[in-house]
Amino acid sequence: MGSNHSTGSCDVTRPAYAGAVTNPESTATPTAAEIARMIDHTLLKPEATRADVEALVAEAVELGTYSVCVSPSMLPVTVPPGSDLLVAVVCGFPSGKHTSAVKAAEAAEAVRSGADEIDMVIDVGAAKEGRFDDVREDIATVRAAAPRPTVLKVIIESAALADEEIVGACRAAAEAGADFVKTSTGFHPSGGASEHAVRLMKQTVGDALEVKASGGVRTLEQARAMVAAGATRLGVSGSRALLTGGAPAGSY
């Protein structure tokens, strides 16, 4: 599949990237169409095929999602001419136990192959041990390999972390120059996104970074709750069911 596009409270101040969703504190209930524009329509199953990714892209365009999120081996991804759909790719996924050099190489290759955004996984064990300098250096290495305008999201696996560890990981992400902190891979046995984690992450990063909620967001009600807590992006595999009120679908 040939790519035909490529775009692009702590004391760290970062400029908003082009297309950023703003006003996460709004009290207005977002419509389904507004929620769609916050969704990374996701397919990360190991058995996914190229035909599955082509179907994912078609569905994303139909639903009006912000992006598709796929595995690096699925690149390059063809986006229909005239579409503003972006392509996000995971890195160091799902364990985060790759070396920083391997993550950096994976991110750089993904960008060369047309990825607009990188969703990297931290070494969760380092955060559990309080080694936040190591977490920061890991993120910074990937940031250097995938500089702006590429958007860098940092998956901290919040369900596996205590509150103080969530705060430390978010601060490390901000100091390393990330654009987002993200709750979950959707593959960890501890679970996915929670309103509590999203709220704590947003309180920690303030306006410096944005927050992506992923893992277990399957209904419009859940999506709206995550946005109310501070999320401006949502990782969803069952996007059609979420947006249309169908039976919850997807494992992400």
Q: Which residues are catalytic?
A: 119, 182, 212
Secondary structure of residue 181 in the 3-state scheme: strand
CA distance 43 to 51: 12
CA distance 222 to 243: 11
Q: How much is the CA Rg of the chain, to the nearest whole Å?
A: 16
Cβ count within 10 A of residue 16: 12
Q: How far does the chain reach from its first CA to its final CA, in angstroms?
A: 24
CA distance 107 to 134: 18
Find all residues with CB under 8 Å of 82, minimum gap 6, and list them.
Answer: none
Each residue of 203-222: b (16+ CB within 10 Å) or e? ebbeebbbbbbbbbbbbbeb
Find all residues with CB under 8 Å of 75, minimum gap 6, and list them.
Answer: 3, 87, 89, 110, 113, 114, 115
